[in-house]
Structure 1
């Protein structure tokens, strides 16, 4: 595993969901705040994203937008004023209308029509990796020639699967939605001028090599000396660069990550505590329980009861 994969896996629960919608005329749909992440991909036409408390964002054909913290927002045919936003129809109602119960605010055809993929991911925010935590409220990924080719390919594939519903689509669509999340986060990280700590962390070859080693085998008997050798630098150099960029020393990060990984295993599996302990680098269940209680303020058993498999 790598840092980005682990950061996503630690918070992803359940299955993603999405709808393909087409709306035209004058319209305004509200998305309530959500304990997860939302996304929109414009397949045809254009619209506006109006995040609660944020600046409007114009979306064109091929644009993707991720709301990684589940912020409430409105999608509309234009930069609506406060009164129009207040009258926005809940998105679920708009989708229900499009499925034949009653017409939406305008016809779904014509020059003003927009076709979108709208969806969301369920996330467990109790143990968010700092990479995920520092994502902005809105990640806008414009469709520019030559940019984000993997994301563009995933969008094309997802659009076709949802349109044609070929055999196997029930597996293909959720898998493509998971791939879309990875590509949206990856595209944000490599975009020029992206603010935040973690793009710089993973852009530093020494720190990135150390993190890759820790995430690849968290149960190994790591020491700072061994990790420095893995990264190809001296112990003081690794300690200085890693701590400066990540915000904690390498072994402190390893301890934190092992306990978060243990929490994920407790939530998502029925493995005995002894097995979980071994998988995350603790010699005994007692040693894991002591460290787990110190970090999370509860025992592994109680955590498993409350979290439960998704």
Structure 2
């Protein structure tokens, strides 16, 4: 599996995560749902994404943005417009003074607004992420990713626009799956842009030496890989692989492998009841002691502390 696929494996849309707002100017929404990641697109009109500590980003019709949370931000018709409403977790809406207006503004399934004929329609979906593996992806993203309509338009975006207002059996599942695909295709489109400043592991994916080495480590992290073994598999010298991999990815192969193993171990510690010994074997360590030494060195806490909830920022 390639690194992007692995890092996206922990990202899944949640039920009731998708909604659309129909709006007339002047309008502004304060987004305070605490989501780790949000995807939004303008189905009609335009919208500005206005972070508290960054430059506003304009979304024209059909553009798609990915916004890295969990900090609040505004979405508005103009960067200067002051929000009237706050969007909370589970798409709950309040006025700025805290009055709940969710039901009063509901126009239909997953649709809110003051009118059905607004000049702007903004659709969005949010993700709550509890995966150390996926945090490696988040760390590679800028606060706001914008993919223009010409590069973002694909069948899944059209399907999302068609399905968002429908109600029926398993409709939330349909929307969640479409949203997952929309996120993957949007990220892929952004990473492929020349100005994207894609992370090293993405740039290395297409390299004839570093790319296969990356896939080997992702496919079988428990294997006792060495630079020599990886080089033999990809058909080059040890020195050539080490030089090429480090130049593209930004760190030597075994350093990358160690960090990848630590992310996998961190997820298993938090999401399973497996013993530390079993987890050690799954991620390439001989026993629990060896994993604990490496985990404490990289993460600053022991595996037991991490499992108990003492969780510093992912590496």
Same-fold call, TM cutoff 0.5 = yes
1:248 equivalent to 2:251? Answer: yes
Give the match's secondary structure for 2:157.
helix
Q: CA deviation at 1:266?
A: 1.2
- TM-score, scaled relative to structure 1: 0.83
1:15 equivalent to 2:1? Answer: no
| Cα contact 2:62–2:152 (8 A) shared by 1 | no
Q: For the residues of structure 1 that align with 2:134 and 2:298, how far apart are their CA atoms?
A: 14
| CA displacement 1:118-145 (0-9 Å, x = unmatched) | 222113486765553131111111111x
Alignment-derived partner of residue 271 in structure 1: 274
Match of 1:213 among 194, 212, 216: 216
Name stretches of at least 5 consecutive residues in structure 2 with no aligned partner.
88-92, 96-100
Alignment-derived partner of residue 138 in structure 2: 132
Higher helix share: 1
Q: For the residues of structure 2 that align with 1:174 and 1:307, how far apart are their CA atoms?
A: 31
Alignment-derived partner of residue 106 in structure 2: 99
Greater Cα offset, 121-130 or 164-173: 121-130
Name stretches of at least 5 consecutive residues in structure 1 with no aligned partner.
none
Give the match's secondary structure for 2:301.
coil
1:181 equivalent to 2:183? Answer: yes
Q: CA deviation at 1:48?
A: 2.2
- TM-score, scaled relative to structure 2: 0.82
- How do 1:228-243 residues align onto structure 2 when only pairs under 5 Å count? 228-243=231-246
Match of 1:90 among 57, 70, 86: 86
Q: CA deviation at 1:241?
A: 1.1
Alignment-derived partner of residue 58 in structure 2: 58
Give the match's secondary structure for 2:164.
helix
Q: For the residues of structure 2 that align with 1:206 and 1:126, how far apart are their CA atoms?
A: 27
Q: For the residues of structure 2 that align with 1:237 and 1:71, how far apart are their CA atoms?
A: 43
| Cα contact 2:2–2:205 (8 A) shared by 1 | no
Q: For the residues of structure 1 that align with 2:191 and 2:264, how far apart are their CA atoms?
A: 23
Q: CA deviation at 1:106?
A: 5.3
**For this pair of structures, how many residues does the alignment match?**
294
| CA displacement 1:68-116 (0-9 Å, x = unmatched) | 2445322112x242xx33x44323337724216xxx985341xx52222
Q: For the residues of structure 2 that align with 1:107 and 1:170, how far apart are their CA atoms?
A: 24
Distance 1:130 1:203, change over 3 A: farther
- How do 1:136-175 residues align onto structure 2 when only pairs under 5 Å count? 136-144=142-150, 147-148=151-152, 152-175=154-177
| Cα contact 1:27–1:105 (8 A) shared by 2 | no
Q: Please provide the CA RMSD for this pair.
A: 2.7
